[in-house]
Structure 1
Amino acid sequence: MFKTIIVDDEKWTREVIKQFGRWEQYGIEIIGEAGDGEEGLQLIEKLSPDIVITDMKMPGMDGMELLQTLTERFPHIQLIVASGYNDFIYMRQAIHSKVNEYLLKPIHEDELNLALEKCTKEIKSQQDSYTYQPFSFANHNLSLLIREYKKTVTSFLQEANVLGFESAHQRFYEELKKIEGIDRNALFKIHQEFILILEEQMLKNNYNVNDIFEKNKSLYDRLETSLERMIEQHQTLGKYFIEYMLHMNKRKNRVDLGEIKEYIERNFTDSHISLEVLANKFFVSKEYLSKAFKNKYGCNITEYIISHRMEHARKLLISNELQIKSIAQMVGYEDVSYFYRVFKKYFKLSPGEMRSN
């Protein structure tokens, strides 16, 4: 059995995670839970879990500090973040800590279980493959070269400069060939640094990370055994990213109502989603978006969001024993009294009456 610990200062979130997880299916046992990072770290030191699920914003030692500590002291632990904050600073720390998944609250059952499945597969893969040691380069020149390489490559990626990107990679390759001691651990370090650069650029630009990495899985999930092949691998991935970025920039000038509709269906539980937020995200005026959406789908955007929230809330009320306050938060309502009013107006029944019936 794989062992897991849940760290979150909200008890109801811990309860949701415990109810939603398909623990027996994935061979996972919950061995402890904690209300803050310090308590969580003590449990981790005592119980040696395989998986840790943690919030980011907590009193005392928060999730960022906990992730940093776990990365340094327990690099083998698989990490899942469950946070109510879609914040780049938190995401950047998650990337540096090689978090398996960054789940936004309210937690979705399917997303949680996909993350758990991914963790168990990673643990099994590590058990069957080469184990990399922590990276501590005695060669000062190599460390400096990697640092300068990251700055240069990041600049060319941000500018979508293909020629500059290719030239920087070639210069980096030529300099690396002059350094002795480029072993497999060094190659792994360079590869991981490049993947982190791409991930950070995707998050900064609000792109879907899967659009790059899932479509190019064979390019990033294997470690090349030669320096030359690894540089070629990075050039291919980098050029694909630049092409993707140029394509996305062109699309900013076009309104795709189907894409907006799909975005709502994926994110209707976000408490901040609104006509104004969508208009800003898709670079269109609120007035035009509202009119065009209603003409095509027969309802305005607010009505479409409410209908998805209400239907999801109805399913949650019927299928489990979660508190109504928790369900309200899970479908995007921080004010439970407002949730009651919207629910009763939509169904002509209160949440309690719906559950009783």
Structure 2
Amino acid sequence: MIKVLIVDDEKWTRETIKEFGHWEQYGIQIMGEAADGQEALSFIEQMSPDIVITDMKMPGIDGRELLRIVAERYPQIKLIVASGYDDFNYMRQAILSKVNEYLLKPINARELNLALEKCTNEVKNELRFQLKKSLSFVSKDLSAVILEYKKTITSFLDELNLEGFENSMQRFSSVLQKVEGLDTSVLAKIEHEILLLLEEQIIKNNCDVLVVFEQNKDLMNESGHTLDSIIKKHMVLGKSYIEYMLHLKKKKSRVDLEEIKEYMDRNFTDSHLSLEVLANKFFVSKEYLSKAFKSMYQCNITEYIVGRRMEQARKLLEDNELQIKSIAAMVGYEDVTYFYRVFKKYFKISPGEMRQG
């Protein structure tokens, strides 16, 4: 049976979804219900559902944060959003988290079941694919090569370094040409991985995907049958993205501190968020950004990020359910020891002492 988890803070909405769904027809079992994102994460960790249906606006860990965590930790889970809010930030997170369907309330039974049918078919196809795929397709060496160059390519795209990007793509091509067993399924995987990387980069920087892809519409419609054609296609798309971002950089005449603050409010749980990352993203020097932000908000960038993380950590601790290690990761600290030090410096007591009251 395919397992589904329903997440919504309103009981009547959960009941509506349970009533409307053709569960037996699609071979689905409702494994549980959750009233918020925190409860949902506990269910997911224990029960490993195949599909999660979630609301967006909930107390505590809301749907946007839940989608981000699930997409990062459990990418195999199919996601359906059922929300009363047609909000850009919610839609943007849904895109980033590769949500399968975004349904607007009030829930329509036909739309819900179409979404369930789509998700169950994907789950079944992926299970069949796992059984059929050859060992060469998931070989350790090939996976390592793809992962290494994805990181390198992302780095040059972040820096808007066209020469570095093109050189890294050429090196990637040279390395792949030496790998045995590059059949059509492997080439399709490589093409998908690089295209997805570029799409995520565009969305992350609040750009319009269509601006980059539409001007290369003919190229996008081509299906790469050879390694050379795949590399060429993505070099053109990467160049278009970098040139577009550089154009925006020249066009931007001043720093919008409110926009930067809002960006931090949305992304303070990202462990990589820093003054340097923000300066690069908003095309301004670190020195100027630091000085301007402190002048307006009476604290520096790092202090603001730490403050947001600590207040969020306190809320999660008060709920008294998640492990402290999990809370540290959820607010942007991969090193739990470092989280303890920052927490104690900020609140003058340890996380354990705060939880005990």
TM-score, structure 1 length as denominator? Answer: 0.49
* Structure with higher RCO (Cα < 8 A, 6+ apart): 1
